[in-house]
Amino acid sequence: TSGPGSTTLPLRIYSMVKTGVTPEINALSTLMLLASMVLVLTSLAIQRR
């Protein structure tokens, strides 16, 4: 849960993209993609057992 003064990650990324794509956004996107891939591969490995 988030309070009224907090910003969620998707909203923060969207606001950063509106001003132009920076290396910080590229790095964050890469980390999120890698984390998603690890979770999917882990799930597949667990299901095969």
Mean pLDDT of the chain: 88
Q: Place 40 in a pLDDT band, splitting at 50, 70 and 90.
A: very high
Quick one: pLDDT at residue 28?
87
Instruction: Give me the amino acid identity at 14.
Output: Y
Structure tokens at 10: 């998707």
DSSP states of 8-24 as a string? -HHHHHHHHHHT---HH
Cα separation, 15 vs 13, in Å, equals 5
For residue 47, the model assigns a pLDDT of 96
- The residue behind tokens 């923060």 is 12
Residues contacting 28, CB < 8 A, separation 6+: 13
